[in-house]
Structure 1
Amino acid sequence: MTREHERLDEDLTRGKNWKRWGPYLSERQWGTVREDYSEHGNSWGEFPHDHARRRAYRWGEDGLQGWCDRQCRLCFAPALWNGKDTILKERLFGLGGNEGNHGEDVKECYYYLDSTPTHSYTKALYKYPQGRFPYTEIREKNAELGREGPELELADMGMFDGGRYFDVLQEVAKRSPEDMLWRITVTNRGAEAAEIHVLPTLWFRNVWKWGSERETPLRKPSIALHGDHLFASHETLGDFLFYADSPDAEEEPEWLFTENETDYPAIYGIGGPTEYVKDGFHKLLIQGEKDAVSPLPMGTKAAPHLKFMVPAGGSVTIRCRLHATTSADGVTGLAGFEETFEERIAECDEFYGEVITSGLSPEENLICRQGYAGLLWSKQFYHYVIDDWLKGDSDGPAPPEARLNGRNSDWGHFFARDVLSMPDKWEYPWFAAWDSAFHMIPFAAVDPDFAKDQLLLLLREWYMHPNGQLPAYEWNFSDVNPPVHAWAVWRVYKIADPKGQRDLLFLERAFQKLLLNFTWWVNRKDVEGRHVFGGGFLGLDNIGVFDRSHALPDGGKLHQADGTAWMASYCLLMLAMALELASEKPAYEDIASKFFEHFVSITDAINSLGGTGLWDSQDGFYYDQLIVNHDEPVPLRIRSLVGLLPMCAVTVLKQTTIESLSGFRKRMDWFLSSRPDLLKYINVRRNTGDKKSALCLLAIPSEAQLRKTLHRMLDPNEFLSDYGIRSLSKAHDKEPFVFEHGGVRNEVQYTPGESNTDMFGGNSNWRGPIWFPTNFLIVEALERYHHFYGDSFKIEYPTGSGVEKTLKEVAIDICDRLISLFCPCETGYRPCFGNAETAKRYSDVEHWQNLLLFHEYFHSETGEGLGASHQTGWTSLVVRLVRDRREKLCQRIM
C-alpha cells in the first residue's frame, strides 16, 4: 500500500482529515445563477466580470488555481500584475454566454498537471502574458464573429509570440492535513527581462454581511500581521498562521490589507460600510491609490507584495506556508520546505505507478496522469440554498417578486454546501447530474470512496426532489438529464472493490433512492402509460430539429427513441442491482421481477407500438416520432445518437444466476408463459454440452436490427469518424433533415464542429462532433454483445471495406480512435489541438509540449477539441479506455 493509499484510509476512517483542504476554489463565481438576483434571470448581466474584482460574492469565491477548505471559509490564491495590465490578475478572464460567438468561453491558457486524491500534492500551470491583457479587444473582436467562424483566442492575438509570457507554476504539498506548503515558481519565457508583481493572497469568504441566520458568524473573522507572518482567526475553522518569503526577492515583502467587502461607490454610486474594499490591491498597484489599502495591519484579505525583474529564461520562487496553530508539529516558519515537496512528489509518483496500468507508452501515461489531475482539480466547493436565495437576505434588498415563481422556485428543499465534481470550473462551475455520473467512472480508480459519496449525495433528500427527480443543472434543476445515475452506481460498485469484497451497503442505499427516481420517470415521462418515453432534451442540447425541452408544434407530443432507450437501460441496471442484492437478501427477487417485466414491456413498445414502434425497417434505424393533433405519428428521420442509443440498452445474465434465485426464476417463467409473444425479446445462448455456461441476452434490438444499426454506425460516410462515433450521421451534410409545419421550417444539418445555432445558447453541439460519454456507452454495449455472441458474430468493419471483425475487435478499434485524439499522429501533432498553428505550438515549442486539454467534445473531421476547454470530467473517460485497452475488455463489464 502506498503512502497516498494510507492517507485515503486515514481520511475514510476519520483518523486524519486529509481532504479538509484542496483546490476547491472555483475558477469562476461571477455570472452564475447563484449570484444572480435579477428579476428575469440574466446571470451574465447581473454579475459580469467587471464586477468580480469589486463585489463580494454571496455563495462562494473564485481565484487563480486557488485552494480553500471544504466549506470555503479561508482561501488562498495568487494575484499577478505585469506592470501593464489594466486589471490585477486575480481570476481567469473569459466571455460571458452573451458575448462569445459560441457562448461562454474562457480566454486563458492554464493546465492541471498533477494531484493526488487527498491533494497531498498538486501542481498547476498558468501562462500569463507579459503584454497588456486585451480585455476590451477580445470582447469586441469576438462580438464581430458569427457562429460559422472559429473563436478568437489569446494566441491568435499574438499574446504569446516570442515567448513573451510568464509560466506561473503553482504547487502545494501538505505536511499534514492542516499544514500546507505553497510554492509559486514564475519563469520568464521571453528573450528580455520582464517585470512581475506577485501577491500570494489569503482571504476569508464574506459570510458576515448578508444577515443570514444560517451563516452569519457571532464574530467577524480577521487576518492580522504578527511579526513576520499573518495570524488568521475564524470562529468555526480555527486559528491559522501564514508565512511567505522569496529567496529571489531583493526586498522584504510589503504586507497589504483590505476587506473582502463590496466597493459600493464603484458599483452602486453610494457609500459602503468601509473604504477598504475587495479591489483595494488593484487600486493600489494599478491606479496608484495609496489610501486604498488599510493603514492598519489587519483585515479580511491580505497579501505580501513581492516585485521581481525576472531575467530572460530565468525564474523566481515564492514560498508560503499556511497551517493551523494546532498543527505546527514543532516546525517553525518555512523549515523543511523543499524536503517536504520532494517527499510528496515521490509519493505522488508511487501512487500513480500503482494506479495506472503497467506497460503503457509514455504518451498513454501522459494522458492518464493529466486526465486524473484535471479530474481531481475539478472538485469545487458548491454552495446554493434555494430557499435563502429566493427570499433574499435581510441585509440586502428584497428580490423581485418574479423570482418567487421563476428559475428553480419549485426546488425550495435544495440545500448544497459540499465539495462536488464539476464539469469545468470556469465554463460550467456547477454540477450537472449526468456529467457527475460519468465523472465517477475514472474517479473510482483513484478515490473509490469519493465516487461512492458523490453518487449517494445527489440522491440525498436535500438534493433529490421529494417527487424523485434528480436536479439537472443550476440553470434549470427541473430540466431532464439522461437517467445514467444508476449506470454509474453499478459501474462504480464493480470498479471500486475487488470481487468478493464489494460494497453491498453502498449498492443498497443507492438502489432504494433510485427506486424513487425511476418512479418519477415512469409517472412523468410516460404520460400515456404505453412504455414509450418523451423525456425532453435529455442533455443532448440541439440534436433534435427543435428544442425538445419546450412546447412542440401545435401542442404535439414526442415519442423519443433515446428517452425510451435510456429507460430500458435503467430497467436493466435496476434488474442487475436487484439480482446482486437478492444473493444476500431474497426480498430483492420480487423487485428484480418487476424490472425484468418492465424492460420487456419497453422493448416491446419501442419495437412494436402502432405496428413497428420507433424502428424504421426500411432505413434500419430507430427514430423519434412526432404526434400532432392526434394524427398518425410522423417519424423524424434524423440519423443521430438518438437512434443509436437503443443499441446500448443491453445486458447479459448468467443462467446460473437466474437458476440460483428460485423466486425470481418462477416469476420470470410465469410472466413469459402469460405473454408468450414477448419471448422473442429473450435470447439464450449455450456452449455445446455446458449448461452452466448458458447466457441470457436482454437487449432492445434483435440480432437483425443490431446488424442494420451497426451497418450504419460503422460506415465512415455516416457515423464512423477517425476519432470515434459521430453524434449525427455525415449523410446529413448533403441531405439535411427538414421539418415544416405551420409555415415554420426547421432543419438539421451535419455540423462537425462548433454549433451554428442559438439553440441552448450555442455553447455545445450534438449535430456531428465526437462526445466521450456516448462513445463510452457504445463501446461498453459492443463488449456486452460480444460477450454473448462471441466470435461467431462478425460485422463488416468499416462498412464498405469488405473486412469482417468481431464486436470485440470493433470496440477496441473505436477505443483506439478516441485515444488517438490525444496522441501525436503521423504529422507529429495531437489532433485535439486542431489548426496547424495551435498544434505546432503544442508540439514544437518546448514549454508548450506535453500539456493536454480535455475538451467538452471534438470536431469529427479534424479531431480538434471544442466547447469547454477543461471539461476533464467526462472526457477523462479516455483514461479508463487507455487502462482497459490493455486488458481483456469484456472482463471489466461483467
Structure 2
Amino acid sequence: MKNPEQERLAQHQKDEKDWLKWGPYLSERQWGTVREDYSAGGDAWNYFPHDHARSRTFRWGEDGIAGISDRYCNMCFSIALWNGKDPILKERLYGLTGPQGNHGEDVKELYYYLENTPSHSYMKYLYKYSQKAYPYEQLIEENQKRSREELEYEILDTGIFDDNTYFDVCTEYAKGDETDILIQITITNRNNQPAPITLLPQMVIRNHWSFKEMSRKPVMATVKNGKDTSVCIDHPYVGKYNLYFQAADRLLFTENETNREVVYNEENQHPFKKDLFHTAVCNNDYDLATKNNSGTKFAPQYQQILGGGESKTVQLRLTTATLKEPFADFDSIFKARQEECAQFYNDIAPKASEEHKAILKQAFAGLLWTKQYYNYEVEKWLEGDYKTTPPPKERLTGRNNQWKTLRNHDVLSMPDAWEYPWYAAWDSAFHCVSFASIDANFAKEQLLLFTKEWYMSPNGQIPAYEWNFSDVNPPVQAWSALQIYAIDKAKTGEGDIKFLKRIFNKLNLNFNWWVNRLDRNDNNVFQGGFLGLDNIGVFDRSHGVPGGGLLDQVDGTAWMAMYSLNMLEISLRIAEHDDSYEDMATKYFGHFVFIAEALNKMDTDKANTWDDIEGFFYDRLILPDGRSTTIKVRSIAGMLSLAAVLTIKKNVLDKFPKFKASILWFKKYRAENLKYEVIQEFEDGDDLLLSLVPKDRMQKLVTTLLDEKEFLSDYGIRSLSKIHEKPYKIQIDGIEYSIDYEPAESTVSLFGGNSNWRGPIWMPMNYLFIQTLREYQTYSGNDFLFEYPTGSTKLLNLKQVSDELSKRLIKMFEKDSSGNRPINKNYEKYYQDSNFKDLILFYEYFHGENGRGLGAAHQTGWTALIANLIEQLEN
C-alpha cells in the first residue's frame, strides 16, 4: 500500500497532477557563475560579484535564501532579513570567490536542509542569522592572509555566533495542492536578551523583458478584500496567482531591474530598481518603496523586537485559488504534510535506529533541496541578447564556444546550490543513484537528460560542467543506470526495460566518442585527462603531459572497461525482452576483452602499467622519442581496475546461446596468443566472472585497499595511499614533479578550487568500491576471504567487508560517546549546543585521518549516498 507521498508521485508520473510544478528550484547563487559572465576573458567571479547582485538583474536565473520557484524560475519566493547592524540587506548567501579563499570558493553562512519530500509537499530549511554585523571584509582579509597550509577562516571562527547571539530562521513549505503552497517562517531569538529583526518574504518576477520581447510584462499588484490585503500576480508564462499574507507593517514594491546608476554610473529612467528594498530598510527611508502598489518585486515587511528565547511566526499562501479565509485550514494542512513526510522516510528504513533515520532523512532532504532550475543556451549567451549591449567579440572563440547546440532549460540536481550551482556530469550520475531510493522516475529522467540532443554534443560527448563542457568526466552513466534499475526493481518488483533501452541507445554514441577520441594509440589503453580526480596526479592531466608525451591512464582504462561491462549487462537485461540486443552484448564483451588484455599484458616493457613486485597498477608516461616510464603513485586511480567486474549467472547465459558461444570462442582462441587469460575459471555450465584484473592481482589490490597503513582509514577509503606521507618525486623532461599524502584541504594550486584527491575520503568512490566488493561476493560467495583490516588475522567475506566499510563511512555522521560527530571536528563546542546538535552537514569530502568535513559544506549530491549505505545495512 502506497503512503500519501508515494501517491502524489504516482499522480505526477501519470500526469494527473503536476506536483513538481513548484519546488526548491531557486539557486542559492546566481552571481559569479559562467552564465552571467559576459566578459572578454571569462573572469566570472569578478564580472558579476556579490556586491553587484543586489543591484543588477540576472539574465539566466535568480537566487535567494530558502527559496522556491516554478520549474522555469519565472516566479521566485525567498526570504530577506536585517538585524539592524548589517551594512546590506541579507537577501542571499555570502561566500568567498575562488581567488579570495585560501582553499578556493567557500560559502560563509550557517544553513541546514532539514526536511523535504520528493514531490516537495513538505520542505523545511533552517538559516542561522547573527544579531551582530556580518563580517564581510574580515572574512576576505583573514582568508587572504592565510596560506594553503592553514585552515580556512570560517564564519564560526569570527565569533559572531558566540553567546547564542543569533536568530534561528526556519522556513517551511507545505502544499495544499499542486498550485497551492503554504509558507511558514518562524524566527526564534536564541539569545537571552531582546534583539530587533526585520523580515521580508520576497516575491520576485524573473526579468525577461530587459533581454527579449514578451507578449506583456508580468505584474504584481495589491488587492483589497475588506480590511485584508493580498497581492495578485499575473504572469504570461505561469498564469495568475494570489499571494496571501498576515498583516504586515508595510508593503514594499519595486521593479526587478538593474540600478544602472549604482552598477554602471549611468542615469536611470526611473528610481524603482532591484536594490530599492535594501536602500529602504538599511536607511529607514520607505518613501519610494511604499509609493507604488504594483511592481515585479514585492515584500510585506515585518519589523519586531524579539525577547530572549521568543519566537515569532509569519504565514503566507501562494495559490491559484481565490480564498476568503486563506489561513482557516493552514495549520491542519501543515500538520498533515509533516506527518506524511515522517511516514515516507520511516517506510524507507523502518528497522534503522533513530540516529540513522535522522542522518538518512537529512541526507535526502539536502539532495532534494539542491534541485535547481538551470538555464544556459550557449549560442545565445555567446552572441548576447539583441536588447542589450553586444558582448566582446573575444567570447565567440572563448569558453564553451564549441557547444552551440547546448540549450539547457531544466530542473537539475546540483552538487551544491551555492558552491557548485551548476551540474557536473559524473556528480549527477551518482546523485541519481540516491534519487532512485526516493523518486526513481526523477532519477531516470535526470540521467536521460544528459543524453538529449540539447545536452549531448552531436559527436556523442556528454558535457562535463559549465566552466569547461569539453573537459572529461568519468563515464559512469551506464553504471548509474544499472544502479537505478536495480533499486527501482527491488522496490517495485518490476524492472523498467524501457528506461534501459532509452539510455542504452544514447550511451552507444557516447561510448563510441570515448573510443574514437581518447584511445589515441588504438591500443585499448585510454588517456582521458582530468577524469574528475582533480589533483590526484603529479601534474595537471587536463593541460597536456610534460615533455609533450602521452599518459596511459589506469583510471581512464578502468573506467572504459567498467563502461564496457555496464553496457554488456544492460544489453543482456534488455535482450531478455528483445533478443535483437544479444548482438550488442557480444560487441561490448569484445570491447571489454581487448581492454583487459591491453591493461594486463605481461611483456618485457619495464614501463608496463602493472608492477608485479609492488602489486599495483601505475600510469605510464610515453615520451615523444618512444621512451616510457611508470609514474608510481599509489592512488585510487590504480585501484579503479577493481571496479570493472561483472558476474553473469548460469541461467542468464543459458538464455543467450549466441552470446555464450562467443564467450567460449574467445576463451579458446584468444588464449592461444595471450599470456593473460581474461576469462578465468569458466567452464560451460558455471557462472561467469568477468573481471578487469585476474584473481591473483585482485587479491593483492584488495589486500592493499584494506591496509590501514595505505588506503583504509577509520572513516573509509583514502584517495591516496598513506605511504606517500613521504613524497613521491619524478623527473620529467628535466623538471621535478611530486605528490604527497594530504588528508585534508589541498596545499597545491592544481585546479585552483577547494577539492583535494591527494588523500581525503570521497563518498562516491567509496560507494563504488563497496558495490564492487558486493559484486565479487555474488560470484565467489564465501570463497574469497580477506583480513580486515590487513594484518589483523580477522577473516571476512567480501559482503562482510563491504558492510564494515559502510559502517566506517556512516560513523563520520554519528555521535560518539561524547556527543560529537567526526564531521564537526573543528567546531565541537558549537555542535554540542542543543540548537546545533541535531544539525548535519554533508560535505564534499572528508579528512583521511579524523573524518572532518571538507570542501563544499552542503554537497548533498553525491554525499547523499550515505543514505543508500544506511538503507543497504538496515534492510
TM-score > 0.5 by shorter chain: yes
Q: Secondary structure at the match of 1:449?
A: helix
Corresponding residue for 2:390? 398
Residue 611 of structure 1: how far off its partner (Å): 4.6
Cα distance change on mapping 1:162 and 1:20 into 2, 3 Å: same
1:831 aligns with 2:827: no
1:782 aligns with 2:766: no
- CA–CA distance in structure 2, aligned partners of residues 451 and 818 of structure 1: 24
Corresponding residue for 1:580? 573
Corresponding residue for 1:310? 306
Contact 1:245–1:253 under 8 Å retained in 2: no
Residue 82 of structure 1: how far off its partner (Å): 0.4
Corresponding residue for 2:119? 118
Amino acid at match of 1:66: G
Q: Secondary structure at the match of 1:316?
A: strand
2:428 to 412, 415, 436: 436
Contact 1:422–1:873 under 8 Å retained in 2: yes
**1:723-762 deviations in whole A, cap 9, x for unaligned?**
000000010002x111222342221000000010111113
What percent identity do the matched residue pairs reach? 47
1:856 aligns with 2:844: yes
**1:303-354 deviations in whole A, cap 9, x for unaligned?**
1111011010010001101111xx34x6632221111101111111121121
Corresponding residue for 2:266? 270
Amino acid at match of 1:577: I
Amino acid at match of 1:237: V
1:345 to 329, 338, 346: 338
**1:342-387 deviations in whole A, cap 9, x for unaligned?**
11111111211212x1221111111101011001101000000001
Corresponding residue for 1:258? 254
Contact 2:667–2:679 under 8 Å retained in 1: no
Q: Secondary structure at the match of 1:307?
A: strand
Q: Secondary structure at the match of 2:66?
A: coil
Q: How does 1:282-297 map to 2 (within 5 A)?
A: 282-293=278-289, 295-297=291-293
Amino acid at match of 1:125: L
- CA–CA distance in structure 1, aligned partners of residues 577 and 797 of structure 2: 37
Residue 684 of structure 1: how far off its partner (Å): 4.0
Contact 2:346–2:357 under 8 Å retained in 1: no
Aligned residues: 865
1:154 aligns with 2:146: no
Q: Secondary structure at the match of 1:446?
A: coil
Corresponding residue for 1:680? 677
- CA–CA distance in structure 1, aligned partners of residues 494 and 541 of structure 2: 43
- CA–CA distance in structure 1, aligned partners of residues 633 and 733 of structure 2: 20
Contact 1:532–1:560 under 8 Å retained in 2: yes
Amino acid at match of 1:132: A
Amino acid at match of 1:121: Y
Residue 801 of structure 1: how far off its partner (Å): 1.8
Residue 885 of structure 1: how far off its partner (Å): 1.2
Residue 296 of structure 1: how far off its partner (Å): 1.6
- CA–CA distance in structure 2, aligned partners of residues 762 and 512 of structure 1: 36
- CA–CA distance in structure 1, aligned partners of residues 465 and 873 of structure 2: 32
Q: How does 1:749-768 map to 2 (within 5 A)?
A: 749-768=740-759
Corresponding residue for 1:15? 16
Q: Secondary structure at the match of 1:753?
A: coil
- CA–CA distance in structure 1, aligned partners of residues 284 and 104 of structure 2: 35
Q: How does 1:703-852 map to 2 (within 5 A)?
A: 703-734=695-726, 736-835=727-826, 838-842=827-831, 844-852=832-840
Corresponding residue for 1:379? 371
- Structure 1 runs of 4+ aligned residues shifted over 6 Å read none
Q: Structure 1 length normalisation: TM-score?
A: 0.95
Residue 683 of structure 1: how far off its partner (Å): 3.0
- CA–CA distance in structure 2, aligned partners of residues 778 and 497 of structure 1: 22
Contact 1:276–1:294 under 8 Å retained in 2: no
Q: How does 1:358-373 map to 2 (within 5 A)?
A: 358-373=350-365
Q: Secondary structure at the match of 2:770?
A: helix
Amino acid at match of 2:801: V
- CA–CA distance in structure 2, aligned partners of residues 344 and 275 of structure 1: 42
Corresponding residue for 1:891? none
**1:69-121 deviations in whole A, cap 9, x for unaligned?**
00000011111000110010000000011111111000000000001100010
- CA–CA distance in structure 2, aligned partners of residues 381 and 521 of structure 1: 29
Q: Secondary structure at the match of 1:834?
A: helix
1:658 aligns with 2:653: yes
Contact 2:243–2:317 under 8 Å retained in 1: yes
Residue 722 of structure 1: how far off its partner (Å): 0.2
Residue 852 of structure 1: how far off its partner (Å): 0.3
Contact 2:562–2:644 under 8 Å retained in 1: yes
Contact 2:643–2:772 under 8 Å retained in 1: yes
Residue 609 of structure 1: how far off its partner (Å): 6.7
- CA–CA distance in structure 1, aligned partners of residues 344 and 798 of structure 2: 34
Corresponding residue for 1:550? 543
**1:649-706 deviations in whole A, cap 9, x for unaligned?**
11101122112112212233333333124682213468xxxx86x3211001111101
Corresponding residue for 2:615? 620
Amino acid at match of 1:665: K
1:407 aligns with 2:399: yes
Residue 715 of structure 1: how far off its partner (Å): 1.1
Identify the range of structure 1 (641-650 vs 672-681) with the bigger mean alpha-carbon deviation.
Answer: 672-681
Identify the range of structure 1 (375-384 vs 817-826) with the bigger mean alpha-carbon deviation.
Answer: 817-826
Residue 804 of structure 1: how far off its partner (Å): 2.3
Contact 1:756–1:762 under 8 Å retained in 2: no
Contact 1:855–1:869 under 8 Å retained in 2: yes
- CA–CA distance in structure 2, aligned partners of residues 303 and 191 of structure 1: 29
Q: Secondary structure at the match of 1:464?
A: coil
Residue 774 of structure 1: how far off its partner (Å): 0.5
Identify the range of structure 1 (491-500 vs 105-114) with the bigger mean alpha-carbon deviation.
Answer: 491-500
Amino acid at match of 1:367: I
- CA–CA distance in structure 2, aligned partners of residues 669 and 743 of structure 1: 50
Corresponding residue for 1:137? 138
Residue 65 of structure 1: how far off its partner (Å): 1.1
Corresponding residue for 1:866? 854
**1:551-575 deviations in whole A, cap 9, x for unaligned?**
1112110000000000000000000
2:276 to 276, 280, 301: 280
Corresponding residue for 1:892? none
- CA–CA distance in structure 2, aligned partners of residues 304 and 809 of structure 1: 57
**1:768-788 deviations in whole A, cap 9, x for unaligned?**
000000011111111111222
Contact 1:711–1:799 under 8 Å retained in 2: yes
**1:521-547 deviations in whole A, cap 9, x for unaligned?**
000000111000001110000000100
Q: Structure 2 length normalisation: TM-score?
A: 0.97
Contact 1:829–1:840 under 8 Å retained in 2: no
Corresponding residue for 1:638? 633
Residue 273 of structure 1: how far off its partner (Å): 3.6
Amino acid at match of 2:775: R
- CA–CA distance in structure 2, aligned partners of residues 171 and 590 of structure 1: 53
Contact 2:105–2:753 under 8 Å retained in 1: no
Residue 809 of structure 1: how far off its partner (Å): 1.8
Cα distance change on mapping 1:229 and 1:594 into 2, 3 Å: same
Residue 793 of structure 1: how far off its partner (Å): 1.5
Unaligned runs of 5+ in 2: none
Cα distance change on mapping 1:25 and 1:192 into 2, 3 Å: same
Corresponding residue for 2:41? 40
Amino acid at match of 1:474: E
Amino acid at match of 2:31: W
**1:796-832 deviations in whole A, cap 9, x for unaligned?**
2212223222222211111110000000124331001
Residue 122 of structure 1: how far off its partner (Å): 0.3
Q: How does 1:417-496 map to 2 (within 5 A)?
A: 417-496=409-488
**1:225-247 deviations in whole A, cap 9, x for unaligned?**
1120111110121111111116x
Q: Secondary structure at the match of 1:210?
A: coil
Residue 500 of structure 1: how far off its partner (Å): 5.5
Amino acid at match of 1:222: V
Contact 2:251–2:290 under 8 Å retained in 1: no
